[in-house]
Structure 1
Amino acid sequence: MNEKTKGMSQTRLVFTHLRAAIVGGRLLPDAKLNIAALAEELDVSAGAVREGLAMLEAESLVVSEPARGFRVSPISEPELEDLVQARIEIEKLCLAEAIRHGGLEWEGRVVSAHHRLSRLAELQHELPQTLLSEDWTTAHAEFHHALVSGCPNGWLLRMHLMLYQQSERYRQLSAPLGGDQRDVRGEHQALVDAVLSKDVQAAQALITEHLQTTGRLLVEGLRAQAPKAAKRRA
């Protein structure tokens, strides 16, 4: 492995490790990111850490300030509301394009992802309502990505992925499942039925309602977590 390839591999390691920690809620909002400490922890160069952090900043997962370095991006209720609105619009566009252009392979991905998510949802009911299993979380992401994967527009898909990751970060920090307030499995099934029926209007209406409900629960979770966050900062 030459030095250039080694440097790229180290940068990707930093980027992947920190993105997973931030999106998964293990690195909390506003947490300081010490370059020297991260380089030692991950056994990489300080330059690789800086490059990885710059990539994360491009995805709005970290922020940098002159003379203060990098920190995990903060969260707020207004930002969450903007995020939900943006995600709805992008996901509607992606779904419409996927329905218009997706073929049998796309339909197969949707059915397969939904089947796996449904089976894991049965196991999820055995966990406390405030705990999301890692397998369910992964399957949920794969399901939403499968729904739009028939979209041929790469820019829309990249925006979809970025917005999904940001939403997932909020969900992991507040972890609301909705409990008796919603039928998530029913919502997912309705989405599958609409896209397989090639009903663009129905699919867009369903994804709008689905994400609005999720957004409302995330706001409630964020408000519930606010006292704990304030206590941590004190």
Structure 2
Amino acid sequence: MKNPKPKDFPQKRRSAVVAARPVPAAAGGAEDASSAEAFKLLRADIISGELAAGARLRFIELQARYGLGTSPLREALSRLAADRLVLQEVNRGFRVPPLSRADFKDIARLRIELERSAIEAAVRSGDEAWEEGVVLAHHRLRRLGRQEAAPEEPAVPEEWEARHRAYHAALIAACPSPWTLHFCAVLHDQFDRYRRAAGRDPVVQIGLSRQHEQLIEAALARDAARAGAVLAEHIADTAEAVLARMDRIETVAAGE
């Protein structure tokens, strides 16, 4: 897939919400708070594609875009580089990673493996509070509808993206392994970056939305095997749709 042309940076933009990756609480005053804010804003813009794949992340432009200083931006970029949402190149600074089919397939494979394990563990060990969290997150997602966009309008509101991410996070929240949850969040960020870059197929989205219903049914029935199977299928179907969209984008680009 050809990487989209990096976008010019608007002035002092505040990113739309991208859920639901917690940012560690600031412990050292205003500078730590600024670093956390920089991390949140940069992460959101990279995942949503506002900062396009391959874009150079120059401090002077980032300062103008977010209204933040060099120190918090540098710290945030270093943290994002640890999660591979940013590439740090010797003597060349930072940039958004390029997109590739091989990379996405690897991300999808690992996400299926880890999240299947996580939801099965959550279903087995989750308490009443976990059930309530799943029901609430599902209800909030359904209130916005399935959001099958028209073919000429493949994007969906940022609020839907936030609630969709929150629902997936709620499903696995009772997994007792903090490391599993951490790497699930990292892989979900990476997966969403590709999904959003590829756009949406409204027909495919209908089937994916049905799987959201099947997931909560299996979770509340405490059927761990069923929940794991549905989630694995859901991620695999989404990945297949993303790869198909990437193929179509490449075909169109080659014909221009």
Shared fold (TM-score, shorter chain, > 0.5): yes
Q: Which runs of 5+ in 1 are unaligned?
A: none
Match of 1:87 among 89, 99, 111: 111
Residues 189-215 of structure 1: CA distance to partner in whole angstroms, max 9, x if unpaired?
111111111111111111111111000
* Preserved CA contact (<8 Å) 2:208 2:237: no
Partner of 2:68: helix, strand, or coil? Answer: coil
- Answering whether residue 150 of structure 2 is matched by residue 128 of structure 1, we say yes
In structure 2, how many angstroms separate the alpha carbons of the residues matched to 1:181 and 1:135? Answer: 17
Deviates more, 1:80-89 or 1:151-160: 151-160
Partner residue in 2 for 1:56: 80
Amino acid at match of 1:179: V
Are the equivalent residues in 1 in contact too, given 2:114–2:180 (CA < 8 A)?
yes
Give the match's secondary structure for 1:185. Answer: helix
Residue 69 in structure 1 maps to residue 93 in structure 2 = yes
Partner of 1:44: 68
Determine which of 179, 186, 210 is the counterpart of 1:186: 210
Distance in 1 separating the partners of 2:223 and 2:204:
28
Equivalent position SS for 1:11: helix
* Structure 1 runs (4+) greater than 3 angstroms displaced: 226-231
Structure holding more helix per residue: 1
Q: Among the aligned pairs, what percent are the same residue?
A: 32
Letter in 1 for 2:195: R
Indicate the SS of the match to 2:214.
helix
TM-score, length basis structure 1: 0.89
CA distance in 1, matches of 2:82, 2:254: 28
Task: Report the equivalent of 2:21.
Answer: none
Segment drifting more, 218-227 vs 190-199: 218-227
User: What is the one-letter code of the residue matched to 2:100?
Assistant: S
> Quick check: 134-143 or 32-41, which moved more?
32-41
Aligned residues of 1:118 and 1:185 also touching (Cα < 8 A): no
Letter in 1 for 2:114: I
Residue by residue, what CA displacement relative to the aligned partner does 1:17-59 show, whole Å, maximum 9, x if unpaired? 1111001111110100001221243333222221111011011
- Partner residue in 2 for 1:102: 126
| Counterpart among 189, 192, 210 of residue 165 in structure 1 | 189
Maintained 8 Å contact 1:114/1:143: yes
CA distance in 1, matches of 2:111, 2:202: 19
- One-letter amino acid matched to 1:200: A
The answer to whether the aligner puts 1:216 opposite 2:240 as a matched pair is yes
Q: What letter corresponds to residue 118 of structure 1 in structure 2?
A: R
C-alpha separation in 2, matches of 1:180 and 1:97: 28
**Residue in structure 1 matching 2:170, options 146, 150, 153:** 146
Contact 1:178 1:217 (C-alpha < 8 Å) held by counterparts = no
Which residue is equivalent to 1:7? Answer: 31
Mapped partners of 1:7, 1:226: distance in 2: 43
Aligned residues: 227
